[in-house]
Every structure is written in structure tokens, then in C-alpha cells.
């Protein structure tokens, strides 16, 4: 069975992601912040995907956690869900920068996610995964 780690301090976004994966028969664990996300990942490196918010304990703690996980050699699918992607131009820049910074495969904007819709936007990672679990 596939398993996802969701790292987000906002219950609404995390619950919408959990519901999305549950409907597809995919188990998920949730961390409330980047520090807990790192602890869960470190204790169980079998996650098929990690989905993280950016702003939690600090304005960029989710990015640094994803970079740390990437540097640790995690080979699964890495996704960031962020309100920043709802700002014009941020997703375009991020699709080039974040694969270099943390090996990111996918981006999820939070305006649609707030309404329960998970929109998958690929990064420019050359070996990007197919749309995960769809």
C-alpha cells in the first residue's frame, strides 16, 4: 500500500489532502510542523511521497525540511503545497528553482486546495514522476 507524509500546520489544507489520498486508497501520516515532519520521515523512510507546506515554525521551514530530506537521499516524490503558488509568477520561478534546491517534483496551489481541489503542477525536473497516484 502506498503511503504519504503530509506536513502542514493548517488543519483545513491537511484534511483536504488526507481526504484526497484516502479516496484513492492511500494511507497518510500527518506532521504539524517541519520538525515533526523530519522526525516522522527519519523514523520511517518508506513514504512514497512527501507533501509539505512552506510556512510553519518559520516562513521557510518547510522548504528547509524538504531540502534536508532531499540531501538525505530520499528517492520518493516530493511535493510542496503553498499559498505562495497562488501569487502570479511564483509558480513559474519555483518550477525552475525548487528542483535544484530540494528535488521538487510537484507544486500544489492552496486556493483550490482550500476548496478541496488538489491541482498538480509539475516542476521542470527532467526525471519528473507521472502525476502521483492518479
* pLDDT tens, residue by residue, 49-63: 999 999 899 899 999
Of 5 and 124, the structure prediction assigns the larger pLDDT to 5
Q: For the chain, list the domains and their CATH numbers.
A: 3-122 (3.40.50.2300)
Pairwise CA distance, residues 81 & 130, whole Å: 17
- φ, ψ (nearest 5 deg) of residue 29: -115, 155
pLDDT band per the 50, 70, 90 thresholds, residue 127? low
* pLDDT tens, residue by residue, 66-123: 999 999 999 899 999 999 898 999 999 999 999 999 999 999 999 999 999 999 999 9
- Would the pLDDT of 128 be above 80? no
Q: What pLDDT, on the 0 to 100 scale, is given for residue 24? A: 93
- Would the pLDDT of 134 be above 70? no
* Cα atoms found within 13 Å of the Cα of residue 109, Cβ hemisphere only: 14
Q: What is the CA radius of gyration of the chain?
A: 13
Q: Contact 128/103 with Cβ under 8 angstroms?
A: no
- Would the pLDDT of 17 be above 80? yes
Pairwise CA distance, residues 50 & 102, whole Å: 12
Q: What is this structure's pTM?
A: 0.92
Amino acid at each position: 500500500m502506498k503511503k504519504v507524509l503530509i506536513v502542514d500546520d493548517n488543519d483545513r489544507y491537511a484534511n483536504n489532502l488526507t481526504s484526497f489520498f484516502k479516496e484513492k486508497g492511500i494511507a497518510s501520516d500527518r506532521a504539524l510542523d517541519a520538525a515533526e515532519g523530519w522526525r516522522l520521515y527519519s523514523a520511517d523512510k518508506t513514504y512514497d511521497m512527501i507533501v509539505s507546506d512552506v510556512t510553519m515554525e518559520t516562513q521557510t521551514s518547510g522548504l528547509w525540511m524538504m531540502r534536508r530530506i532531499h540531501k538525505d537521499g530520499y528517492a520518493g516524490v516530493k511535493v510542496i503545497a503553498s499559498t505562495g503558488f497562488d501569487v502570479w509568477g511564483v509558480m513559474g520561478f519555483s518550477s525552475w528553482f525548487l528542483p535544484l534546491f530540494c528535488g521538487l517534483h510537484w507544486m500544489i496551489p492552496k486556493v483550490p486546495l482550500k476548496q478541496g481541489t488538489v491541482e498538480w503542477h509539475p516542476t521542470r525536473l527532467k526525471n519528473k514522476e507521472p502525476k502521483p497516484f492518479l
